[in-house]
Structure 1
Amino acid sequence: MMIETDENFLVDAVGRRHARHAGPARIVSLVPSLTELVCDLGLTDQLVGRTGFCTHPREILKPIPKVGGTKDVNLVRLRELAPTHVIVNIDENRRECVEEIAEFVPHVIVTHPCAPEDNLAVFRLFGAIFGREAEAESLALDLQAALAEARAVGAGLPPERVLYLIWRDPWMSVARSTYISATLATVGWQSWPAEDVPRYPAFEWDAPWLGEVSRVFLSSEPYSFRDKHVAEVEVLAGRPAALIDGEMTSWYGSRAATGLRYLAALRRSLAGLE
């Protein structure tokens, strides 16, 4: 994602120009991982609304009003909160809903990080709009360090093809075009099948490409895979399988650095290096 800057404006993922906000804002975030980022930028006192899926940081968010889900926003409640800014994401929020929100909210900030490094631009965009440049730069430096660590692990081990499960009945995986796949690739895990669309393909266990997979991961979200599913998948796939924390692979924002370090440690552990 390219972010253009000048003295007065920043540009978001769809080319919309935003002024640097003077004074306290009234922010509603419709993206769970970016709600966490808002808090980590020191903007909790300006956060007036969130979705029911915005759960981190848990104790801080408890008193913040909910406005429905990421796909089914309660527009009446949102309007009552009188936000100055609403944060949305191209993949997580419905375009029709975002367009309706833009009719009564002055500033709708659209995001679309497609790989971990894209978070650097998101940090700086939010930091500049809301006057949190120092906090944003601190997060950027931490992410750059985590990226370097993860890439070093990936470069030091042979690439490994993995199947990343997100759903059961039907069984579903992730395409190469997803943020999850890009995050896994940072540590040398190539998600399979090697396709870009559909983004979340359903498959059967007799698919020919499964023979090229070395390992299977069962994500904790959106389907809540448990230990009991691991043995089932190992039989179906004929490959080693393990649970993986879905927040560490799919949440962008300030969680990205933590996620990369988690994946680097997991890659080393499964390779017998720690």
Structure 2
Amino acid sequence: MEAVTLGDATLAALRGVHIRRKPARSGAPHRTGQHVLRDSIEAGTFEEAFFAAPAPGETDRLLRIAKQTLIAGKNLRRAAVAEGRSLSASERLLSSLTRSAIDVYERLLTIARVCHGRIFPSYDDLAEKTGLGRATVARALAVLEAIGFLVRQRRFVRVASDEPGPRYEQTSNAYRVLLPERVMKFIPRWLRPAPLPDDELQRLADRAADTEAMLSRLSCKDLANELLQGPLAKVLAKLGASIDRQERESQNDPQPLPESYIREIKGVGLVGQRSNA
């Protein structure tokens, strides 16, 4: 699964709003002048759309699948050596999963279950609870994200300062646990989701088509209110209202919203849900 940060989806959605952002390497000064990592979003402005409470038993199932993926990765390496071949890119990614990564993932799943999906531990907290080094935790999170077991969003917070102007500092990342599609063929059949009947697939397809047609007729403001909730919805609705006014002033016969714009706005509210169990 390709991980898409909520920051990227938000910027893509605000097509008419241009925010100047200097390209920088990780750790370089943020556009505010503070040392905030690239692609960070202010804490408290997006979490309602990002976090999702797991269904009963979902965290236990995700942990079993992660452990089965670890076994599958070891078997892939043994088979490649026995057959005298090289692992494919996808196989190398799966075989990069380690026991340490499983321990970190188990800790994230525990937080997800106890805190109803609100996962934002610090590296130090994960290191303390798992007994691993901070660098090991960082590598484990990178592997889990690359495979698709989680998506993470960097965050920053405002801090008080006697000097003029706003001040910011980095805070813990926000995480959301997922079920990656790429591991499905490597785990036992009993752990895979049951396939939907053909009539249910057709019903879902018809419903999606009807929803897409309905969304294409909404204004930017109504589209943001329909698909999002919380502070982020209010911000996008306000921006959408501004875009609507500009369109009304520029043309007498407003046209339906293009499908690309609808997909971009939907991506803000639905990021990470494509592979959710």
* Structure richer in strand, relative to its length: 1
Which structure has more relative contact order (CA 8 Å, sep 6+)? It is 2
Q: TM-score range by the shorter chain?
A: 0.3 to 0.5
> Is the radius of gyration larger for structure 1 or structure 2?
2
Normalised TM-score (structure 2)? 0.33
* Structure richer in helix, relative to its length: 2
